Amino acid sequence: MSPSDATPVLGFSARPDVQEALAHWRRWLESEKGVSPHTLAAYVGDVAVFLAFLTEYRGAPPSLNDLGDLRAMDFRAWLARRAGDGLCAASRARALAAVRNLFRWLDRSGRLHNPAIASLATPRAKRPMPRPLSEADAATLLDAAGEEADAPWVGARDRALFTVLYGCGLRIAEALGLTRRDAPLGDTLRVLGKGRKERIVPVLPAVNEAVRAYLDLCPHRHGPDGPLFTGVRGGPLNPAIAQRRMQHLRRLLGLPDTATPHALRHSFATHLLAGGGDLRAIQDLLGHASLSTTQRYTDVENEQLFTVYAGTHPRARRRE
């Protein structure tokens, strides 16, 4: 069959057996998988580009049998083409996820079996470098966190939350998941992190003081299983509220857009490292599964070191 014999489906040409399979796959994504319209459009578009590549690569639109016979080198040729087209690693990873999803569905539905796609490594996107606050900016933010709040207890809550994030290196979800029983009022805090993995972090006196001041003022008297950080109506504090509070402080203090609640966790790690902290110990405190994730903070420290060097060393300064 020539390319002109193919039937258009989902915006591109495909053979009848592939057309039928794609129509069923799309309905499965919509009705059973319940993917969002954005994800559906992205998956369909990525598969369309994949099939268009195969049509050019093989000289004709592929049939289901052709898809079942594809080798790992064929999939790699498609990914190489996408890289050559300028597609970033994150976008190539999404495209591969879409094609893998299709092939898994084709396998489960008994239409074809192709193990070659499982051997492909997912393109790895370069993770952005953490952007911590300076020590001075972090201190200024914590001092100002309680200002201009609607009520004194709300200001104390905000200061306590941001102090816990910076003083203990918690993720925002970890901090907002703490109960009254978990309140960091002692020397250590037990944190339930990603993958329900527990870790123990030390608690600084400044964290104790901020949390005690908040609890003394908080009008919502929950039991030990109630949320530590609450909204104005007494329910668990919504992370969006914390984000908006940080946005307000950014504007008030003239801090960069990178000053977010999560940046306080980055600041915790970077400032520990700058103070001589051991990288393995910092990995444990942050709950990172891989040391390579923690090593990103070494890059941050080196970048800051070079910035200071370039601005202060006599030989680095330009002569007027």
Tens of pLDDT, residue by residue over 167-177, are: 998 999 999 99
pLDDT confidence of 305, banded at 50, 70, 90? very low
Q: What is the pTM of this model?
A: 0.57
Question: Is 297 part of the annotated catalytic residue set?
Answer: yes
pLDDT confidence of 298, banded at 50, 70, 90? low
Of the residues 119, 144, 171, which one is the last residue of a structural domain?
A: 119
List, for residues 92-104, the tens digit of each pLDDT value.
Answer: 888 999 999 999 9
List, for residues 190-245, the tens digit of each pLDDT value.
Answer: 988 877 788 999 999 999 999 999 999 999 989 999 999 999 999 999 999 999 99
**159 and 142 in contact (C-beta within 8 Å)?**
yes
- What does pLDDT average to over the chain? 84
Residues 96 and 158 in one domain: no
15, 265, 266, 271: the catalytic one is 265
In a domain, 22, yes or no: yes
Of the residues 119, 153, 182, which one is the last residue of a structural domain?
A: 119
82, 94, 262, 266: the catalytic one is 262
Chain Cα centroid distance, residue 65: 38
Torsion of the alpha carbons at 267, 273, 278 and 282, rounded to the nearest 10: 10
Q: Domain with 148 in it: what CATH number?
A: 1.10.443.10
In a domain, 128, yes or no: no
Of the residues 71, 86, 119, which one is the last residue of a structural domain?
A: 119
How many beta carbons lie within 10 A of that of residue 245, not counting itself? 21
Number of structural domains in the chain: 2
113, 190, 194, 244: the catalytic one is 194
Question: Is 194 part of the annotated catalytic residue set?
Answer: yes
From CA 215, how far away is CA 255, in angstroms rounded?
A: 28
pLDDT confidence of 130, banded at 50, 70, 90? low
Q: Residue 12: pLDDT above 60? A: no
For range 46-70, the mean pLDDT: 93
171, 181, 220, 222: the catalytic one is 171
Identify the pLDDT of residue 272.
82
Question: Is 288 part of the annotated catalytic residue set?
Answer: yes
Residues 64 and 144 in one domain: no
Residues 196 and 308 in one domain: yes
Question: Is 171 part of the annotated catalytic residue set?
Answer: yes
Domain around 258:
135-312
User: Both tokens of residue 179?
Assistant: 């109960």
Select from 198, 195, 192, 187 the least CA-distant residue to 176. 192
Q: Domain with 73 in it: what CATH number?
A: 1.10.150.130
Q: Residue 71: pLDDT above 70? A: yes
**165 and 183 in contact (C-beta within 8 Å)?**
no
**46 and 56 in contact (C-beta within 8 Å)?**
no
Backbone φ and ψ for 18, nearest 5 degrees, come out as -70, -40
In a domain, 129, yes or no: no
